[in-house]
Structure 1
Amino acid sequence: MAISAKLVKELREKTGAGMMDCKKALEACDGDLEASFDWLREKGIAKAAKKADRIAAEGLTAFVVDGNAAAIVEVNSETDFVAKNAEFQELVALTAKAIVNAKPQDVEAALQLDVDGKDLGTVIAEKSGKIGEKLSLRRFAVMTKNDDEIFGAYSHMGGKMCALVKAAGIDEVKAKDIAMQVAAIAPQYIDRTAIPAEILEHERTVLKAQAMEENAKSAKPKPENIIEKMIEGRLNKNLKEMCLVDQAFIKDSDQTVAQYLGNGKVLEMVRFEVGEGMEKREENFAEEVAAQMRG
């Protein structure tokens, strides 16, 4: 029977297996989803699928620099224990290498990349089956540069946090220092010109509301022109924290990053921290064991 792309997608979402494996399973089982799921499990490809509802919020970030291209990735696991596993670390390195070579547009495209005859999604699913935890490629970023530009990269806490920057007019030492700054201090923007107008307006609105409330409670209310200056002062302080070039340089707080850069300029920056923004579910070990025994 003809297997629809929708059916393949549904099985892939259910199992985490690669598209070609899902198609083979559906063809072997006449389009029966449950039978195809079992077929993949029997092959060891969907062993981790029973854990599909589990949250993979641990893992590793990694970077790779290859000539004028660089990539940064986050691959998640369920536990920190697995993140320290050599096989998992090899998978993360393999993923980063495949991405820097092919420069895919998004995660879906990345999972279809060919890695030694298998798509990356299948490689990850098979490793999930072998290790026994849900593993997933969460995100990545790719940068390309000209010959007169430079990459700086920094990995912190054994890969729990990574930063990658592209810069011009500085050397390798400074580029790495800037990547370290980005990893440690987590600036949101390179400079103030990069801040969207609506973000600036929101900050100003919040600070104005705070100042007005303080003024209303004050025994000696300040005139409006003083309040406006107060708001601008607080806004400037907040913007200094948000912008890389305005921050105090991590290795020498007597100068800003802009001063450390001199005539150099940071063109792009990316920072990944494992699990940031993800819900980390508290696991009940007894319940987990009981659930596995029922399964």
Structure 2
Amino acid sequence: MTTITAAMVKDLRESTGAGMMDCKAALTENGGNMEAAVDWLRKKGLSKAAKKAGRVAAEGLVAALTKGPKGVVVEINSETDFVARNEHFQGLVKMIAQVALDVGADLDKIKAAKVGGVTVEQAIADAIATIGENMTLRRAAALEVGQGVVSNYVHNAVIEGAGKMGVIVALDSSGKADELAALGKQLAMHVAASNPLAIDPAGLDPATVKREKDVLADKYRQQGKPENVIEKIVESGLKTYYKEVCLLEQAFIHDSGKSVAQAIKEAEGKVGGPIKIAGFLRYALGEGIEKQESDFAAEVAAASGQKKP
């Protein structure tokens, strides 16, 4: 039998907004499976969460760098937040982002690329030896358009172009580059704030859509609704869901009275041509990485050879 810990209950409560006892019951009913527990709460109308928030646990920096029609995001992790404020580490991150912009997002190619006579992989190893803390180039991704621009936005920037979250948005258009870049920056800020799953419904994972349909159907089935009514409610619910998770259908954060699609359409006159979002990438530092919680006081006491009082 799976042990339901207080930390598990806390994580579920934070990601769903449900009550503590409800979260404990959900986890118990589902053998500690967090995703299944979220669905269990939603089916009972106890959670408004459309998706579980990823637990951000790693340290380091995310860099977002663009140049004309291409851009990259990279994540370099460290053990502590202290290192993220280290100038040597910050320089390393900027260098790796520039290399990724030049050679592409393949991690092996980035590590093998030479800068100043040494490979990036060796530069990381040297930084580990100098700073005394483990570091890893965790991931990288790139976008490029044939014509148009790729714009970026960094949230909680520690240095220019790197911080706790990095976003790039690619706009395919023959319009004015400067106007496109400004629009792209606004869209990148929107992506950072709204965290869409796809550009439009066609881009969603079919499994994700099916899961949403099943949750909606089961919720109203438990309320005793007839099947023909449930089908209509589910279709209506999906439309609402799409407005929450699809970029073009989301309310634009800079003007909530219009959708992102409407904002882009209005911008086409200013830009001087049709605009298409070719893609977007959003990296939040440490998302998907679990890190064991530690007792800081105990660590300090252990380091000084004393016992925690």
- Distance in 1, matches of 2:251 and 2:69, equals 30
Tell me what 2:215 maps to: 206
Tell me what 2:270 maps to: none
Q: CA deviation at 1:286?
A: 5.8
Tell me what 1:143 maps to: 143
Tell me what 1:75 maps to: 76
Equivalent residue runs for 1:106-121 within 5 Å: 107-121=107-121
Match for residue 251 of structure 2 among 248, 258, 264: 248
Structure 1 stretch 247-256 or stretch 83-92: which is displaced more?
Answer: 83-92
Report if the CA contact (8 A) 2:221-2:227 is conserved.
no
RMSD: 2.2
Match for residue 283 of structure 2 among 272, 279, 289: 272
Deviation by residue 1:60-119 (Cα, 9 ceiling, x = unmatched): 1111223433211111111222212222111110000111111152x2332222122211
- Distance in 2, matches of 1:286 and 1:200, equals 45
Q: Quick one: which amino acid aligns to residue 195 of structure 1?
A: L
Task: Tell me the SS of whatever aligns to 1:204.
Answer: helix
- Distance in 1, matches of 2:195 and 2:262, equals 18
1:168 matches 2:172: yes
Q: CA deviation at 1:292?
A: 6.3
Larger radius of gyration: 1
% identical aligned pairs: 38
Structure 1 stretch 226-235 or stretch 89-98: which is displaced more?
Answer: 226-235
Scaled by the length of structure 2, the TM-score of the pair is 0.69
Scaled by the length of structure 1, the TM-score of the pair is 0.73
Task: Tell me the SS of whatever aligns to 1:283.
Answer: coil
Unaligned runs of 5+ in 2: 1-56, 158-162, 174-178, 266-273
Q: CA deviation at 1:227?
A: 1.8
Tell me what 1:282 maps to: 293
Unaligned runs of 5+ in 1: 1-55, 216-221
Task: Tell me the SS of whatever aligns to 2:123.
Answer: helix
Deviation by residue 1:95-154 (Cα, 9 ceiling, x = unmatched): 00111111152x2332222122211111112112211211111111122222x3111110
- Distance in 2, matches of 1:168 and 1:102, equals 22
Report if the CA contact (8 A) 2:60-2:77 is conserved.
yes
- Distance in 1, matches of 2:303 and 2:149, equals 50
Tell me what 1:61 maps to: 62
Count the aligned residue pairs.
232
- Distance in 2, matches of 1:291 and 1:127, equals 26
- Distance in 2, matches of 1:201 and 1:251, equals 31
The ranges of structure 1 where at least 4 consecutive aligned residues each deviate by more than 6 angstroms after the TM superposition are 290-294
Tell me what 2:130 maps to: 130
- Distance in 1, matches of 2:149 and 2:297, equals 51
Task: Tell me the SS of whatever aligns to 1:280.
Answer: coil
Tell me what 2:268 maps to: none
Report if the CA contact (8 A) 2:64-2:166 is conserved.
yes
Structure 1 stretch 203-212 or stretch 247-256: which is displaced more?
Answer: 203-212
- Distance in 1, matches of 2:297 and 2:167, equals 38
1:100 matches 2:104: no
